[in-house]
């Protein structure tokens, strides 16, 4: 559950490295002028995105542990995101994949 939140870090690192390499490439018409701060801002943005995602997932986990989150009727585990469907808003259980659990 928390592992996908770390996905922006290697992507941001790869984009920042690409922008840093592109800065030193001499082009004929100078169409690609990358300021020095762009790679740093790209990595900082990916770091902030990963921190925000981790914060949201940690908040959901904390709510479930304290008994205030949405729980599966069958196994008592936490539910995933809301999904619109035929019977209304439902959520899929993250443990037993029981579908649909009625969203509270």
The pLDDT tens digits for 1-42 are: 678 888 888 999 898 888 888 766 665 445 556 677 888 888
pLDDT at 57 over 70: yes
Cα separation of 38 and 44, whole Å?
10
Percent of the chain with pLDDT over 90: 14
Using a pLDDT cut of 70, give the percent of the chain over it.
Answer: 77
Look up the pTM and report it: 0.69
pLDDT band at 71 (very low <50, low <70, confident <90, very high): confident
Q: Enumerate the domain spans of the chain.
A: 1-69, 70-104
Q: How far apart are CA 55 and CA 85, in angstroms?
A: 28
């Amino acid at each position: 559950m928390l592992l996908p939140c770390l996905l922006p870090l290697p992507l941001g690192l790869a984009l920042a490295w690409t922008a840093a390499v592109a800065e030193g490439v001499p082009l004929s018409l100078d169409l690609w002028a990358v300021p020095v701060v762009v790679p740093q801002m790209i990595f900082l943005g990916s770091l902030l995105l990963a921190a925000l995602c981790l914060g949201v997932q940690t908040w959901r986990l904390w709510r479930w542990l304290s008994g205030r989150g949405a729980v599966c009727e069958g196994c008592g585990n936490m539910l995933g995101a809301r999904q619109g469907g035929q019977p209304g808003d439902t959520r899929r259980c993250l443990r037993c994949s029981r579908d649909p659990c009625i969203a509270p």
